[in-house]
């Protein structure tokens, strides 16, 4: 090194790896049944998702995508390995503590919506906050804001059976985003949606990650995976491929996608 030259610039503290991930899956294995009927749904999966990051998970049917999401959200327990959410090992929590963490920190959009039929859209969305002790009126105010974010302000007082599939799905997404959820898990959230509504929903998910949440998105559609910062590919319960981490890529692609959709290039084969 020539005199007077400073040491080469090292990336310092800014790399994604330097931050504590919001969720870390460590060598996860999930086996169902035993003997003849044993199914190894996941085998030795490790994955970390940082604040601000959206990771897409793709893979054929039965490859373990929903199992991965259930484990990350504390809805299922691994056979081996650890799930750590904001530094807390889920296995160290009591049932009650785990339920609380799920209500306060984790938003989950299920493949089949899971709305409660006897509750209106606003009541479905505000339920996690009410269960957590927030006053009904405050919870409703937040629910209306979350419904507004997904474009459903007008339908707040409808029951699930009075809404289309797309509207029910957006209600489920509002429920997953309400409060200060740091981890948002979405299992094929666009399955029931037309392409325009899908773009809208992914834009909301992307914005939530840009605002500091960590997200995992299961999807079959490469152009929806483009909203993510990276994609992991599952096959037979293992990660078989992974795109390079590039925070910001999803944001750029999201903008490109919205532009493409607005000039009518959004048809899907669904």
- Contacts with ligand ADP by CB under 6 A lie at 32-33, 39, 41, 59, 61-67
Residue 138 binding result from ligand ADP, Mg ion, none, given CB thresholds of 5 to 8 Å by partner type = none
Residue 44 binding result from Mg ion, ligand ADP, none, given CB thresholds of 5 to 8 Å by partner type = none
Residue 59 binding result from ligand ADP, Mg ion, none, given CB thresholds of 5 to 8 Å by partner type = ligand ADP
Residue 131 binding result from ligand ADP, Mg ion, none, given CB thresholds of 5 to 8 Å by partner type = none
Give the range of 61-69, 82-90, 160-168, 221-229 binding Mg ion by CB under 5 A. Answer: 61-69
The alpha carbons of the chain give a radius of gyration, in whole angstroms, of: 20
Residue 219 binding result from ligand ADP, Mg ion, none, given CB thresholds of 5 to 8 Å by partner type = none
Within 10 Å of residue 25's Cβ, how many Cβ atoms?
Answer: 22
Residue 169 binding result from Mg ion, ligand ADP, none, given CB thresholds of 5 to 8 Å by partner type = none
Angstrom CA distances, 21 to 26, 84, 85, 101, 136, stand at 12, 9, 8, 16, 33
Cβ-based nearer residue to ligand ADP, 59 or 179: 59
Q: Using CB atoms within 10 A of its CB, is residue 235 exposed (0-12), middle (13-18) or buried (19+)?
A: middle
Give the range of 45-53, 64-72, 136-144, 176-184 binding Mg ion by CB under 5 A. Answer: 64-72
Residue 39 binding result from ligand ADP, Mg ion, none, given CB thresholds of 5 to 8 Å by partner type = ligand ADP
100 membership: H or E segment, kind and range: helix 95-105
Least separation in angstroms between residue 190's CB and ligand ADP is 15
Under the binding rule (CB under 5 A), the answer on residue 70 touching Mg ion is: no
Q: Tokens standing for 183?
A: 């981890």
Cβ-based nearer residue to Mg ion, 105 or 219: 219
Alpha carbon distance 202, 190 (integer Å): 8
Alpha carbon distance 216, 184 (integer Å): 6
Least separation in angstroms between residue 219's CB and Mg ion is 11
Cβ-based nearer residue to ligand ADP, 53 or 187: 187
Cβ-based nearer residue to ligand ADP, 29 or 51: 29
Q: Using CB atoms within 10 A of its CB, is residue 94 exposed (0-12), middle (13-18) or buried (19+)?
A: exposed
Alpha carbon distance 232, 56 (integer Å): 6
Within 10 Å of residue 142's Cβ, how many Cβ atoms?
Answer: 17
Cβ-based nearer residue to ligand ADP, 39 or 80: 39
Under the binding rule (CB under 5 A), the answer on residue 66 touching Mg ion is: yes
Least separation in angstroms between residue 67's CB and Mg ion is 8
Under the binding rule (CB under 5 A), the answer on residue 167 touching Mg ion is: no
Q: Tokens standing for 136?
A: 């009904």
Cβ-based nearer residue to Mg ion, 65 or 181: 65
The answer to whether 101 and 85 have CB atoms below 8 angstroms apart is yes
- Largest Cα–Cα separation, the chain: 75
Binding footprint of Mg ion on the chain (CB under 5 A)? 65-66
């Amino acid at each position: 090194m020539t005199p007077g030259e400073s040491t080469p610039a090292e990336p310092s503290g800014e790399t994604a790896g330097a931050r504590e991930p919001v969720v870390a899956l460590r060598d996860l294995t999930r086996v169902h049944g035993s003997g003849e009927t044993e199914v190894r749904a996941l085998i030795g999966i490790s994955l970390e998702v940082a604040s601000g990051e959206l990771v897409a998970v793709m893979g054929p049917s039965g490859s373990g995508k929903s199992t991965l999401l259930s484990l990350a959200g504390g809805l299922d327990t691994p056979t081996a390995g650890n799930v750590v959410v904001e530094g807390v090992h889920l296995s160290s929590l009591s049932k009650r503590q785990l339920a609380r963490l799920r209500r306060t920190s984790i938003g989950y959009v299920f493949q089949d919506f899971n709305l409660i039929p006897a509750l209106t859209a606003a009541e479905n969305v505000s339920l996690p906050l009410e269960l957590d002790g927030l006053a009904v009126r405050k919870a409703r105010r937040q629910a209306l804001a979350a419904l507004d974010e997904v474009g459903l302000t007008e339908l707040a007082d409808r029951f699930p059976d009075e809404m289309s599939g797309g509207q029910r799905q957006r209600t489920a997404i509002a429920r997953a985003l309400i409060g200060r959820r740091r981890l948002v898990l979405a299992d094929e959230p666009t399955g029931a949606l037309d392409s325009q509504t899908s773009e809208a929903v992914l834009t909301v998910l992307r914005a939530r990650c840009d605002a500091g949440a960590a997200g995992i998105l299961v999807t079959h559609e490469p152009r929806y995976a483009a909203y993510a910062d990276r994609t992991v590919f599952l096959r037979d319960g293992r990660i078989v491929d992974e795109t390079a981490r590039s925070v910001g890529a999803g944001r750029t692609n999201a903008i490109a996608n919205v532009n493409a959709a607005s000039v009518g290039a959004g048809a899907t084969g669904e």
